[in-house]
């Protein structure tokens, strides 16, 4: 079964316009992510899905393939648009703002999908001591004991009645996903954001309305995303540490 990685990259981010082209140690962030993906599945199976010619030109000059998409409600809708033009069985969505992902985790998500073809796969990691569970920029995850997603929220979950019931630590979403083409087709044809998805601004919640189970797979901790300009310095620091 063929697996490809698609990286959604839009220029007009509401929180950080132009984010895919933000330089990290002198190189556009989208290239850091594309090269990580290529280490997992090979350069020929990496695509960047974008609606911006500047992003397309940047990745083309670096030797990566791109697919131009129209306006999309979410990154997953953009992935679905691109997937309709690619002959593949499994589509891995790697977010373009996580340049510290471990390529081994991309393969781990792929392998989980191969073993669970009836489920969407998503990554999670434990929130680190330096991260704030109350931050709305970190989607928190609760699963059942089998690992299936119960809910995801920008609030700290699970909640608790008293301090003695408080969770010792929290899970956070890691933005690597695996879908089949049919799952992406159904997602796009839903035609709108679901009510929960709209409230939380977490796109994977739409699958609840489609009765598609989501299996959460643990990935390497320590990944940092660039959500806002203030994140650039700490991500660059982590990249320097990896290079040293």
HEC string for 152-205: EECCCCCCCCCHHHCCCCCEEEEEEEEEEHHHHHHHHHCCCCCHHHHHHCCHHH
- What pLDDT sits at residue 222? 66
pTM of the predicted protein model: 0.93
For residue 220, the tally of other CB atoms under 10 A from its CB is 14
**Banded model confidence at residue 171, pLDDT cuts 50, 70, 90:** very high
Average pLDDT over residues 116-128: 96
Mean pLDDT of the chain: 94
Alpha helix (H) ranges present in the chain? 29-41, 53-61, 75-83, 103-115, 181-189, 195-200, 206-209, 231-243
CA distance 231 to 31: 17
The residues that bridge with 176 in the sheet, in sequence order, are 94
CA distance 179 to 226: 24
CA distance 102 to 114: 19
Specify whether the CB–CB gap between 121 and 109 falls below 8 A.
Answer: yes
Q: Say whether pLDDT at 35 is over 70.
A: yes
**Banded model confidence at residue 15, pLDDT cuts 50, 70, 90:** confident
Q: Say whether pLDDT at 146 is over 70.
A: yes
Q: Where are the domains of the chain?
A: 3-237
Bigger pLDDT: 4 or 70? 4
CA distance 128 to 221: 8
Cα-based distances in Å from 4 to 9, 65, 103, 125:
16, 12, 13, 23
Q: Say whether pLDDT at 74 is over 70.
A: yes
State in words which class domain 3-237 has. Answer: alpha beta
**Banded model confidence at residue 242, pLDDT cuts 50, 70, 90:** confident
Helix (H, G, I), strand (E, B) or coil at 121: strand
Question: What letters, b where the CB count within 10 A reaches 16 and e where it falls short, cover 103-124?
Answer: bebbebbbebbeebeebbbbbb
Tokens describing residue 224? 């940092």
CA distance 104 to 109: 9
Distant-in-sequence, close-in-space partners of 39: CB < 8 Å, separation ≥ 6: 103
The single-letter DSSP state of residue 148 is: B
Average pLDDT over residues 197-201: 98
Q: Say whether pLDDT at 106 is over 90.
A: yes
The single-letter DSSP state of residue 227 is: -
Q: Say whether pLDDT at 234 is over 80.
A: yes
**Banded model confidence at residue 217, pLDDT cuts 50, 70, 90:** very high
- What pLDDT sits at residue 12? 80
- What pLDDT sits at residue 159? 94
- What pLDDT sits at residue 37? 97
In percent, the amount of the chain with pLDDT more than 90 equals 87
């Amino acid at each position: 079964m063929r697996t490809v990685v698609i990286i959604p990259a839009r220029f007009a981010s509401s929180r950080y316009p132009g984010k895919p082209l933000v330089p990290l140690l002198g190189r556009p962030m989208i290239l850091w992510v594309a090269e990580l993906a290529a280490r997992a599945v090979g350069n020929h199976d990496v695509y960047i899905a974008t609606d911006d010619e500047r992003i397309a030109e940047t990745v083309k000059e670096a030797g990566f393939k791109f697919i131009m998409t129209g306006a999309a409600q979410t990154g997953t809708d953009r992935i679905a648009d691109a997937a309709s033009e690619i002959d593949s069985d499994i589509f891995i969505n790697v977010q373009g703002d996580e340049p510290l992902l471990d390529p081994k985790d991309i393969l781990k998500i792929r392998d989980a999908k191969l073993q669970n073809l009836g489920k969407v796969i998503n990554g999670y990691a434990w929130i680190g001591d330096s991260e704030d569970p109350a931050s709305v920029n970190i989607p928190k995850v609760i699963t059942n004991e089998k690992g299936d997603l119960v809910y995801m929220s920008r609030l700290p979950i699970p909640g608790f009645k008293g301090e003695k019931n408080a969770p010792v630590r929290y899970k956070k979403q890691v933005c690597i996903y695996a879908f089949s083409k049919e799952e992406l087709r159904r997602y796009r044809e839903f035609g709108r954001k679901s009510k929960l998805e709209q409230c939380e601004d977490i796109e994977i919640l739409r699958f609840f309305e489609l009765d598609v189970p989501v299996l959460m797979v643990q990935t390497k901790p320590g990944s940092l995303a660039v959500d806002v300009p203030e994140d650039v310095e700490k991500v660059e620091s982590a990249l320097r540490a990896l290079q040293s």
